[in-house]
Amino acid sequence: MTGLPDFDVLLARLAGHRQLDIADLSRSAEIPEPELRSVYEGTAPSPSLLRRLAPVLRLHAADLFVIAGLAIPDELAPLDARARDLVAGLVQDAVGLPLERRRRLLQLARTLPQESRTEPVRTPQVYEQFERGPGGVLLGMVGNRNLSWSGIARTFVSLTGRYWAASTYGAVGNGRKEVTPDLLADFATVLGVPVDTLSVLTGVDVPDGPPPQSPAAVDAAGLLWDVRRLTVDQVRQVAEAARVAPRA
């Protein structure tokens, strides 16, 4: 499967999935209906419109920017690219923790203070810049989680058991490897986005419905999202807490 519809089509799909018509979406997102109707008719969405739409569509704003094919604003991008090499190991350790320790780890990540950006937003390498298609959008959303290229492969195997080389995920992003229903379910686990939402977005049918999610994987996906706003030293602090916590 190659190519992806323009944002007007995707917006209509996502809103319909939430059983929202234009009037409902306008009211819930506090967007004037004429402005929203213009986007439905093909006008490029503004950053402020995407920010308002995201919570109504139950998506992170940064992910909705990827879906719309727009550059992610600096304030929505991962805070510190130097933390990328730590994240996959943190996720792997978090999955092995008992419930109470995982929740404490999540609490730690969420309560650490938000520090100012001291490094420029990382520019993706050429091999990380994908054509607009189902796989490209999915990999773009994974990129919002501040994972290194090898960290993507490590995180998938930790949360889903899928053992692929990083280059194979690159093939998915470039459209050379098909997004199958089971792969889409794995992306849903890592992204913390319901598989039916990703199905509506990508056009990949999941005939058997959403697979069961382990609580550990759900918590780890939440942690993956939360630590993207932290500095490398803060991520290291969370990672150390994960390693010293006793196992069940």
Per-residue HEC secondary structure of 205-243 comes to: CCCCCCCCCCHHHHHHHHHHHHHHHCCHHHHHHHHHHHH
Q: Indicate the number of domains in the chain.
A: 2
Sequence-distant (6+) residues with CB within 8 A of 68 are: 7, 10, 44, 45, 50
Final residue belonging to a domain, choices 76, 100, 128: 76
Please indicate, yes or no, if residue 1 is contained in any of the structural domains.
Answer: no
**Euclidean distance between CA atoms 164 and 138, whole angstroms:** 16
**Same domain flag for 188 and 113:** yes
Final residue belonging to a domain, choices 56, 76, 96: 76
**Same domain flag for 54 and 86:** no
**Same domain flag for 138 and 151:** yes
Please indicate, yes or no, if residue 215 is contained in any of the structural domains.
Answer: yes
Confidence of residue 130 (pLDDT cuts 50, 70, 90): confident
**Same domain flag for 119 and 136:** yes
**Same domain flag for 47 and 144:** no
**Same domain flag for 92 and 161:** yes
**Same domain flag for 113 and 207:** yes
Model-level pTM greater than 0.85?
Answer: yes
Exposure of 189 by Cβ count < 10 A (0-12 exposed, 13-18 middle, 19+ buried)?
Answer: buried
**Same domain flag for 95 and 148:** yes
**Same domain flag for 72 and 85:** no
For 174, the token pair is 């470039």
**Same domain flag for 194 and 232:** yes
**Euclidean distance between CA atoms 208 and 182, whole angstroms:** 10
Final residue belonging to a domain, choices 76, 106, 134: 76
**Same domain flag for 125 and 42:** no
Please indicate, yes or no, if residue 2 is contained in any of the structural domains.
Answer: no
Position 128 scores a pLDDT of 83
Mean pLDDT for 68-74 is 94
Please indicate, yes or no, if residue 201 is contained in any of the structural domains.
Answer: yes
- Closest C-alpha among 144, 137, 142, 166 to residue 154: 166
Confidence of residue 212 (pLDDT cuts 50, 70, 90): confident
Confidence of residue 246 (pLDDT cuts 50, 70, 90): low
Position 207 scores a pLDDT of 81
**Same domain flag for 156 and 143:** yes
Domain assignment of residue 36, given as a range: 7-76
Residues, the chain, total?
248
